[in-house]
Amino acid sequence: MNEQVTDNSFNLDPELARLEALSKLMDNQFRIPGSNLRFGLDGIIGLIPYMGDMAGFIASGFLMRIMVKKGASPLLMARMLFNYILDAIAGTVPLFGDLFDFGFKANKRNVTLLKKYYADGKVKPNATRSMAFLGIVFFVLFVVLIWLVWKLTALILLWVWSIIHGML
C-alpha cells in the first residue's frame, strides 16, 4: 500500500482533493518526532473506548460516500467497505484495536484504491444508484457495531461486577 499512484485528473477535481486531504487528516496528519511513524485523528479518537471507533466509522462513511459519488465500481466499493468494517471491528478490541488503528489506515488504503481505479484515465460512471444500497448496508453495519459494543460493554461490566461481588 506504500506505492504512490499519481493521476492529475484525481488531483484536479476539488472534491477528490478534499477526499485525499480528509484521508490524510484521519490517517497520516501527525508524525512521531524522530521517526517516520505517522498517525491521524482516526488513531487518536480510537483511543476513546468504543465511542471513538464508532466516530471513526462515521467519518469513514463520509469518505466512502464521496468515493461512491465519484464512480467507484461495485467491486471497488466492496473492497473499500471491507477495509472500513475490518478497521471498525478490530478497533473495538481493547489495546489491539488501538494499535491496529495506528497501523491499518483504512482511509488511506481506500483513497489509494480509488486512485488506482482512476489511473487508467477513462471516464467513470456515476454510481448514485449503488449509493442507496451502500447507505443501507453501511447503516446496518453501524447498527450491528453499536449492538456489538453494547454487548461487549455489558459482558465487561458483568465480569467486573462478579469480581467485585466475589470480593465482598
Minimal CA–CA distance to 24: which of 40, 1, 47, 36?
A: 40
The per-residue b/e assignment along 106-118, b for 16 or more CB within 10 angstroms, e otherwise, is bbbbbbbbbbebb
What's the grid cell of residue 149? Answer: 459494543
Confidence at 3, pLDDT banded by 50, 70, 90: very low
Would you say residue 158 has pLDDT above 60?
Answer: yes
Would you say residue 87 has pLDDT above 80?
Answer: yes
Cell 481505479, located at residue: 117
Give the whole-angstrom CA distance, residue 100 versus residue 87: 8
Chain centroid to Cα 17, Å, comes to 18
Give the whole-angstrom CA distance, residue 124 versus residue 128: 12
pLDDT tens digits along 127-147: 666 666 777 777 888 888 888
**For the chain, what's the residue count?**
168
Could you tell me which residues come within 8 angstroms of residue 51 by beta carbon, excluding any fewer than 6 positions away? none
Distance set, CA 55 to CA 39, 45, 119 (Å): 16, 7, 31
User: Is the model's pTM score more than 0.85?
Assistant: no
Instruction: Provide, rounded to the nearest whole percent, the portion of the chain with pLDDT above 70.
Output: 82
E strand map for 99-140: none
Tell me if 78 sits within 8 A of 58, measured CB to CB.
no
Would you say residue 8 has pLDDT above 70?
Answer: no
